[in-house]
């Protein structure tokens, strides 16, 4: 009799027990397209943009490029345009360019092509060269578009302070050592940092880096409680850092990193990189 009761209880309660386990997800009986699987696949899809439309930065750049700017016309060298009369040019203008965007010689740094000549010097702490474009008559300082533009402190003093900061000296310590205000030193550092960023972007182009590692590092600025992430791409063989971005740990930052990396790589790698 006892055996019959035991068998009855076993047959009646065992299916209920299995149903309970199934509800608690302890039995892997659910198909892959269940609720959890759908979440996982959605997350994967968000982290893997497959076309430029998935990246806001790529979309913006493609819009700008498709809009198209004015076609670049070949510029006739200024020595061929101007009269052969007059004194020859004495000031070396190689590397400088006319800053007037409406001038046909805008941005041309070649001294054999552009229309720049020396136009005296200015400045009290030190003499700074002034240039003049003979085509549009625009005058500008040799320090234009540099970190030293419109600074009254002598350039060698600024260079000394920035060198000390680059070696690891704190801005407050530099204030005590060199006697300049903290805000002044921070302003010089910000100017130099922006210029260094532009210089980096100018030099790091058409890179041939077949092996790259992309990573983000958790960091925190000095005296700041805010956690930031350092997004970087590194070539493990040469240790070159073609891209370095500081920001939050968001998908937007990931897009920015990949977009900047794509711009710095050589053209033949673009198709491979986007796959």
**Residues at the interface with Zn ion (CB under 5 A):** 98, 100, 103, 105, 133, 135-136
Residue 99: CB minimum distance to Zn ion, A: 8
CA separation for the pair 90, 118 (Å, rounded): 8
- On whether the CB atoms of residues 108 and 96 are closer than 8 A, the answer is no
Residue 137: CB minimum distance to Zn ion, A: 8
CA separation for the pair 131, 139 (Å, rounded): 6
Residue closer to Zn ion (CB basis): 110 or 201:
110
Residue closer to Zn ion (CB basis): 96 or 188:
96
* Secondary structure, 3-state, 106-154: ECCCCCCCCCEEEEEEECCCCCEEEEEECCCCCEEECCCCCCCCCCCCC
Residue 72: CB minimum distance to Zn ion, A: 16
CA separation for the pair 218, 138 (Å, rounded): 48
Residue closer to Zn ion (CB basis): 113 or 153:
113
CA separation for the pair 113, 75 (Å, rounded): 8
Residue closer to Zn ion (CB basis): 115 or 258:
115
- On whether the CB atoms of residues 208 and 223 are closer than 8 A, the answer is no
Residue 118: CB minimum distance to Zn ion, A: 15
Q: Within 13 Å, how many C-alpha atoms sit on residue 20's CB side? A: 5
Q: What is the dihedral of CA 65, 68, 69, 74, to 10 degrees?
A: 100
Of 235, 261, 232, give the one whose Cα is nearest residue 245.
Answer: 232
Residue closer to Zn ion (CB basis): 103 or 232:
103
Locate 128 and state its tokens: 């700074």
Residue closer to Zn ion (CB basis): 100 or 153:
100
Locate 181 and state its tokens: 């205000």
Residue closer to Zn ion (CB basis): 105 or 229:
105
Residue 110: CB minimum distance to Zn ion, A: 14
Residue closer to Zn ion (CB basis): 116 or 258:
116
Strand ranges of the sheet holding 139-141, from the earlier edge strand across to the other edge: 116-122, 128-133, 139-141
Residue 130: CB minimum distance to Zn ion, A: 14
Residue 242: CB minimum distance to Zn ion, A: 34
**Taking each helix axis from N to C terminus, what angle separates 56-67 and 251-264, rounded to the nearest 10 degrees?**
50
Residue 98: CB minimum distance to Zn ion, A: 3
């Amino acid at each position: 009799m006892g055996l019959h009761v035991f068998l009855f209880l076993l047959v009646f309660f065992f299916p209920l027990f299995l149903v309970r386990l199934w509800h608690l997800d302890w039995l892997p009986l659910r198909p892959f397209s269940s609720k959890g699987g759908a979440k996982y696949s959605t997350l994967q899809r968000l982290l893997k943009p497959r076309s430029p439309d998935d990246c806001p930065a790529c979309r913006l750049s493609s819009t700008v490029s498709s809009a198209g700017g004015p076609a670049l016309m070949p510029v006739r060298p200024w020595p061929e345009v101007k009269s052969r009369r007059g004194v020859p040019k004495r000031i070396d203008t190689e590397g400088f360019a006319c800053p007037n965007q409406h001038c046909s010689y805008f941005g041309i740094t070649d001294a054999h092509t552009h229309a720049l000549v020396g136009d005296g010097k200015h400045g009290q702490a030190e003499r700074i060269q002034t240039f003049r474009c003979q085509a549009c008559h625009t005058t500008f300082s040799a320090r234009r578009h540099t970190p030293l533009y419109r600074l009254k402190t002598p350039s060698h003093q600024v260079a000394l302070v920035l060198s000390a900061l680059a070696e690891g000296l704190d801005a407050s310590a530099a204030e005590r050592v060199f006697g300049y205000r903290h805000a002044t030193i921070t302003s010089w550092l910000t100017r130099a940092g922006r210029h260094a960023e532009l210089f980096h972007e100018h030099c790091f182009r058409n890179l041939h880096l077949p092996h790259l590692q992309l990573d983000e590092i958790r960091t925190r600025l000095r005296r700041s409680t805010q956690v930031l992430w350092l997004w970087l791409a590194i070539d493990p063989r040469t240790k070159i850092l073609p891209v370095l971005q500081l920001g939050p740990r968001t998908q937007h930052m990931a897009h920015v990193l990949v977009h900047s990396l794509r711009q710095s790589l050589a053209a033949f790698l673009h198709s491979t990189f986007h796959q």
